């Protein structure tokens, strides 16, 4: 996504330094050789310069905006590397989605990133992009709609102006907590909506070739119901749940991606460990990673009744499937309580 994000920036005439992590050597070498991105299967714009992570100080010279696109599990590493070279005056825009456990409570990942920085950087400005965006589509300039949020509204319009193009449409929202919570949990719930495809394959084609849209739409609606409950607890705006950060992002994530593929294997009747080892051994399934990371705090919050267990049957199902290797059985009778 970080590579795809360079397209609207470059198309607006900006110089972009694309810095790979220590896991991206093959991609960076390809970009340096011929500009071709093997993951996106396109050439990046000429204004994009690919650099190794060891060249980070060079990359940040004269920078007006830093875009953070590591996976959620890479946030501590990114904070360590950037903490050595960041300037407090340069804002950081996060593409990374997620939540973290902070003293038995939930915290949005950009704020976790800030807390991991050295003391002199604790006042750094944070922004984030949320909404339905598949990297491969953005990299071929398909129409894409997103929401920009952050902890300083004075930066919204100037930052959005850096990004807006004829195909990349940017709205702004002051609901930093709500939009980030939606963005994190969409991966989590896409696992469960993705089960519908696997159930269809498990049960076989119907005699009239009917699909499972009835099933997937029920799971989708329950997922939004649960995300709303969590956003309310976090103090976010529930309008975000039914806009681009929530419904929009959940929809696009259910259409493709690793979370949906894992969900399909679960729907076929496989346990999570079996599906992961046999079919997705080298894939980071963000929804599953979130479940593992947040299982203790989510269960604590339900025990303390800060989150109401009876309103979160899919959340409980996901925790059981991912963390305890339980089989995925849809708890229909617990929906929409």
Query: Do residues 149 and 180 lie in contact, with contact meaning Cβ atoms separated by under 8 Å?
Result: yes
Cα first-last separation, the chain = 37
CA distances from 230 to 177, 246, 255 (A): 11, 12, 23
Query: Which residues pair with residue 205 across a beta bridge?
Result: none
As a whole number of angstroms, the distance between CA 147 and CA 244 comes to 7
Which of 79, 287, 111 minimizes the C-alpha distance to 183? Answer: 287
49 is catalytic: no
Q: Which helix (H) or strand (E) holds 14?
A: none
Residue 8's CB is within 10 A of a number of other CB atoms, namely 24
- List of residues 6+ apart from 146 with CB closer than 8 A: 129, 130, 131, 132, 133, 168, 169, 170, 171, 244
Alpha-carbon separation of residue 182 from 81, 111, 132, 269 (angstroms): 28, 15, 11, 28
Cα 199 to Cα 327: distance, rounded to the nearest angstrom: 13
**Token pair of 238, please?**
């529930």
Exactly one of 87, 97, 111, 186 is catalytic; name it: 186
Beta bridge partners of 94: 68, 128
Please tell me the distance from the alpha carbon of residue 16 to that of residue 134, in angstroms, as a whole number.
Answer: 20
CA distances from 111 to 135, 233, 244 (A): 24, 17, 21
How are beta strands 48-51 and 16-19 bridged, if at all?
parallel
Task: Assess contact for 15 and 49: CB atoms under 8 A.
Answer: yes
Q: Which residues does the annotation mark as catalytic?
A: 186
């Amino acid at each position: 996504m970080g590579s795809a994000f360079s397209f609207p920036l470059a198309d607006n005439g900006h110089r972009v330094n694309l810095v790979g992590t220590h896991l991206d050597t093959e991609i960076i070498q390809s970009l340096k050789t011929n500009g071709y991105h093997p993951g996106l299967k396109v050439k990046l714009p000429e204004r994009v310069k690919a650099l190794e992570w060891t060249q980070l100080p060079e990359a940040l010279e004269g920078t007006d905006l830093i875009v953070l696109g590591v996976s959620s599990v890479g946030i501590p590493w990114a904070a360590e590397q950037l903490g050595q070279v960041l300037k407090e005056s340069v804002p950081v825009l996060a593409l990374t989605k997620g939540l973290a456990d902070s003293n038995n409570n939930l915290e949005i990942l950009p704020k976790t990133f800030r807390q991991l920085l050295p003391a002199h950087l604790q006042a750094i400005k944070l922004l984030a992009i949320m909404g339905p965006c598949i990297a491969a589509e953005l990299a071929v300039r398909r129409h894409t709609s997103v929401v920009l949020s952050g902890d300083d509204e004075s930066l919204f319009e100037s930052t959005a102006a850096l990004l807006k193009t004829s195909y990349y449409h940017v709205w702004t929202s002051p609901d930093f907590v709500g939009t980030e919570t939606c963005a994190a949990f969409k991966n989590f719930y896409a696992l469960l909506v993705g089960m519908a495809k696997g159930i269809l394959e498990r049960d076989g084609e119907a005699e009239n070739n009917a699909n499972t849209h009835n099933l997937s739409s029920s799971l989708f609606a329950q997922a939004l119901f649960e995300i709303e409950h969590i956003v309310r607890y976090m103090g976010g705006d529930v309008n975000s749940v039914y806009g681009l950060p929530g419904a929009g992002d959940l929809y696009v994530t259910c259409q493709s991606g690793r979370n949906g593929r894992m969900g399909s294997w679960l729907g076929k009747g496989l346990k999570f460990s079996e599906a992961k080892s046999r079919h997705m051994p080298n894939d980071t399934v963000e929804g599953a990673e979130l479940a593992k990371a947040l299982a203790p705090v989510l269960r604590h919050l339900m025990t303390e009744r800060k989150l109401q267990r009876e309103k979160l049957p899919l959340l409980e199902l996901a925790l059981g499937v991912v963390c305890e290797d339980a089989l995925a059985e849809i708890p229909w009778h617990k929906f929409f309580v």
